[in-house]
Amino acid sequence: MSNAWLDYAARRENAEIVGLVDIYEEVAKAMAEKRGLDALVFTSLGEALAATEANLVLDVTIPAG
């Protein structure tokens, strides 16, 4: 699911992917590397928002989460 949203954001001229968040840091790092993103990686949404000053969050947490 995150791949589809990352594709969407990457196609937008008015969006920049500035951070990825996952409870498992290695998962977020692997996604950033796989996609060639120069984005910061976090395990906490609060930390990500504070560090990046992002103004939009795409929450792709699975419903069971």
Contact 29, 23 (CB under 8 A): no
Say if CB 49 and CB 59 are below 8 A apart: no
For residue 32, the one-letter residue type is: A
| Every domain of the chain and the residues it spans | 2-52
Structure-token pair, residue 38: 């120069």
Intra-chain end-to-end CA distance of the chain, in Å? 14
Could you list the pLDDT tens digit for every one of the 65 residues in the chain? Answer: 788 999 999 999 999 999 999 999 999 999 999 999 999 999 999 999 999 999 999 999 877 76
Listed as own residue / partner, the contacts of 27-33 with beta carbons closer than 8 Å and 24 or more positions apart are 31/2, 31/6
pTM across the whole model: 0.87
